[in-house]
A and B are shown apart, each in its own frame.
Chain A
Amino acid sequence: MTRLFSFLSSLTFPHGVHPPEFKEATRDQAIRRLPFAPRMIIPLQQHFGEPAIPLVRPQQEVVRGQPIAVANGDLSVAMHAPVTGTVEGIQLMPTARGPKSEAIVIRTLAADSQVVRWGTPRDVNSLSSAGIIQAVQAAGLVGLGGAAFPTHKKLEVPAGHPIDTLVVNGCECEPYLTADHRIMLEHTATLLLGIRLAMRALKAQRAVIGVEDNKLDAVAALRACLSPHDPISVQTVRTKYPQGSEKLLIKALLKREVPSGGYPYQIGVVVNNVSTLSQMGELLPNGQGIIERVVTVAGPGVKKPGNYRVPIGTPLRYLLEQVGYAGDASHIILGGPMMGNTVASLDVPVTKGVSGVIVLPELATQSKPAGKTHPCIRCGRCLEACPVNLNPCELGRLAVKREYAMMQARFHLHDCFECGCCSYVCPSNIPLVQYFRIAKSVNRERLL
């Protein structure tokens, strides 16, 4: 009954898909900690923007929480030592994207208790809007939902764009992932503090927390902490992929559309993820920086699936050894299975933007593995799935003919945000979104 009621009262956007959720294995377990890895790898560029500038030298000793790199300019954030130990060096290390990039490598001091020994507590209530934004940059906060866009840049809205609503993204629409769900349940107070701070920074009058209706316990937990007249409200949204995409969540909650190619602030909205805001509520009062994050480790290949509080810089190899994994050939996905990418090496570390580590042995897809690709039968399912209302059928036809310019000129290729819904539904197994990624990068190069 409550389920039916919540379904009817939930808002949503048109189209989208309903992949199986696979959240049962992890959603009811409290967030746990793991031992510290012996060696931590902290890439200088874990965020969208400029790499940070290191502050430490090789062989220097650092304590947990200490800043080890500062922001390089406006579109960049600071880094902090995730462990107490010794800097081994600043070296080129493999990253999730493939090419190696510079990272600070720290050898963990095994004998240490690893308490955070850095940070000056401050009264957040006295901070001004600009003060909050500065503190957020110094704390190294980026969008923890996956985009890793520097949070202070989101809070620093260009002049002439008044913000009326802060949208808080608690959808977590990707299958397997439950980190945000656990955060809403276990860190409700810090999350609400973070929301209030962000509202102050934005001078926004109200905040709406959008939560998918498969997390009604989180909705109840949040509502229990809010008074009826609170400027913060909680709204359920339909459980549907990609409900957690910024632009579609705005559409669902506020019935507004972000202009094509534009940003949410242009329509008076800023969106932040619940894990980002709860970190903000936790770090700012203590004057600390982000050194760990909650990561869902799950998938058929994982023996002890769950949500773990993982220090940033923990190599995947160490993480997987701790949770145990089965099978030999695997796809290791950072993020969720719909939009996340596989990694090429287990030496890749957990960075700020990694919300989940999913291990799929072989092809644990729902349909039979490696279905044959057929010509498009023009069934129209991709059009009914595309959340931004494109015509993937036509785009795919043009992509095969390599008419990439035409795809942009007539069929709005650049509005595709690569959610993968079209590939997910296509009965002909056409790799549509994969084609579109290629087309977009070719078009980008042509412009240069």
Chain B
Amino acid sequence: MKPLRIELKTSPHLKQAGSVEHIMRNVVYALLPICAFSIYHFGLSALLLILTTTLTCVATEHLFNRLGRRENSLSDYSAIITGILLALTLPPAFPLWMAAVSAFIGMSLGKVLFGGMGFNAFNPALVGRAFAQAAFPGAISTWTVPGHPDRFTEVLPSTLTMPFTTPPSVDAYTGATPLAQWKFEGMFTETTDLLLGLTTGSVGETSALLIFLCGMYLVVRRLINWRLPAAVLGGAFLTAGVFYLLDPAYYPSPWFVLLSGGLMLGAFFMASDMVASPVTPWGVWIYGLLIGFLTVIIRLFGGLPEGIMYAILLGNAASPLIDHLTQPRPYGKRPPPRLRDALSALRQRLKPKDRRPAAPGKEGA
């Protein structure tokens, strides 16, 4: 018999398949159809935008890894995801240099400075998007109509703007997003147009149906927690539903709320960024419902037509608190003492009432 080389290892000796790389790679796969559709829809400008932000994010991560002498973390795909997501939330005619700056800011302030993957308190793509909103308010609210005939041969005039110059006017191409149309003109877009994405909007937010299908791919393969998108969409639907029932003539229907703007993309691909969301099962529901609720409130009553970005960032900020308040109750531990005391106090107060009539009689006898 051959001598056996014995190795020591502690249990468990089995490991479930599925690693971080596996999850992240599949998120990239799920985003690719959305990118393809947006390139088909908005043409060369969208392609350049996606490439610019993705490359900037990857380069930023690499640069900071080198500076911080950290291990190369590109293999976990998360920088690629951040880059793609940022591009998908920008208007198609957004100047590339602005996109690159936003991507750099999002990646450095939103992720690397927190310590890299797993430590970011906010979704880095949304940090970049929030920066763009603040720094380039003009460019970020200039929307172009989709399906321009020359889109595959020419870029939109503003795409290649030189850094630190004002982008040329793209009036000839501009349109309004469905949300802006509703907010400022009181017009509703057809549901089929919203589903199929035949509307004006950010690069990757237009087709609610396509985003839903790509998101469901991740849900079905259990790569993201299904509760997150379900809670966000549910929260938005319920909140919008309440307002719609109050005044159907003024408030939009909950279906319009669900299918328009960036809600679908945010629910499946940004709110579901697990790092910046709570981990406890209850916390996840609260977080998602909160985001859905805030999105609708901002849309209905805020100055901006879209609210998903700030809603998610606020949700990110609240998640440590939510986690803290929703710690699971371990097996065999009684409910928290305060609750228990309150219950027994209640029971005590209810009890004497039932007995009072009988007691004095007995004493008398």
Contact = CB atoms under 8 A, between A and B. Distances in A.
A418 B11 CA distance: 9
Given A379-B274, A391-B280, A415 B11 contact: no
A332 interface: yes
A29 B221 CA distance: 36
A424 interface: yes
A425 to B, nearest CB: 5
B236 to A, nearest CB: 22
A353 interface: no
Interface string A99-133: 00000000000000000000000000000000000
B220 interface: no
Contact of B117 (A328, A377, A420): A377
Interface of A: 17, 19-20, 175, 247-248, 251, 257-262, 320-321, 325, 328-333, 337-346, 358, 360, 365-368, 371-372, 374-380, 383-384, 387-391, 393-394, 411-412, 415, 418, 420, 423-425, 427-429, 433-434, 437
A377 B15 CA distance: 17
Given A175-B14, A339-B11, A433-B12, A380 B279 contact: yes
Interface stretch (B185-193, B238-246, B298-306, B324-332): B324-332
A108 to B, nearest CB: 20
A391 B331 contact: no
Contact of B20 (A248, A387, A427): A427
B5 A329 contact: yes
B76 A374 contact: yes
A63 B216 CA distance: 68
A375 B116 contact: yes
Given A374-B76, A383-B281, A389-B331, A427 B8 contact: no
Given A257-B331, A345-B6, A428-B19, 4 more contacts: A338-B11, A387-B331, A389-B331, A415-B330
Contact of A367 (B17, B76, B284): B17
Contact of A325 (B4, B280, B323): B4
A400 to B, nearest CB: 11
10 contacts: A331-B13, A337-B12, A338-B12, A340-B11, A367-B19, A375-B118, A379-B274, A388-B331, A388-B332, A394-B323
A429 B16 CA distance: 10
Contact of A337 (B11, B118, B119, B332): B11
A374 B23 CA distance: 12
Contact of B333 (A325, A330, A339, A415): A415
B353 interface: no
B15 A365 contact: yes
B6 A379 contact: no
Given A260-B333, A337-B14, A412-B333, A389 B328 contact: yes
Contacts of A345: 6
Contacts of B2: 328
B5 A328 contact: yes
Contact of B14 (A257, A366, A384): A366
A19 B11 CA distance: 14
B137 interface: no
B10 interface: yes
The 3 residue pairs across chains A and B that have the minimum distance between CB atoms: A375-B118, A420-B12, A388-B331
A260 B14 contact: no
Contact of A371 (B19, B280, B284): B19
A97 to B, nearest CB: 12
B328 A424 contact: no
**Which one of B7, B11, B280, B329 has the greatest number of beta carbons of chain A within 10 Å?**
B11
Contacts of B323: 394
Nearest to A260: B332
B352 interface: no
B332 to A, nearest CB: 4
B330 A330 contact: no
A343 B117 CA distance: 37
Contacts of A389: 328-331
B1 interface: yes
B333 to A, nearest CB: 5
Interface of B: 1-23, 76, 115-119, 225, 274-275, 277, 279-281, 284, 323, 327-334
B6 A383 contact: no
Contacts of B330: 260, 388-390, 412, 415
B10 A367 contact: no
Interface of A is mostly: loop
B16 A367 contact: yes
A418 B17 CA distance: 20
Nearest to B283: A380
Contact of B16 (A247, A424, A434): A424
B16 A360 contact: no
A387 B330 CA distance: 9
Contacts of B15: 365-367, 371, 423-424, 429
Contacts of A346: 4, 6
A384 B274 CA distance: 14
Given A247-B331, A367-B18, A380 B280 contact: yes
A412 B17 CA distance: 28
B279 A247 contact: no
A249 B233 CA distance: 37
B14 A378 contact: no
Given A376-B118, A420-B12, A331 B7 contact: yes
A374 to B, nearest CB: 5
Contacts of B331: 247-248, 251, 257-258, 260, 387-389, 415
Nearest to B326: A391
Nearest to B222: A381
Contacts of B18: 367, 427
B169 to A, nearest CB: 44
A192 to B, nearest CB: 31
B4 A378 contact: no
B13 A365 contact: yes
Contact of B7 (A19, A329, A340): A329
A379 B4 CA distance: 39
B19 A420 contact: no
A393 B279 contact: yes
Nearest to A416: B330
Contact of B13 (A320, A337, A437): A337
Contact of B332 (A258, A321, A338, A393): A258
A413 B56 CA distance: 43
Contacts of A358: 13
B14 A437 contact: no
B280 to A, nearest CB: 6
A330 B7 CA distance: 6
Given A371-B19, A427-B23, A428-B20, A344 B13 contact: no
Nearest to A327: B4
Given A383-B328, A391-B280, A427 B10 contact: no
A368 B22 CA distance: 11
A344 B6 contact: yes
A415 B20 CA distance: 28
B18 to A, nearest CB: 5
B75 to A, nearest CB: 8
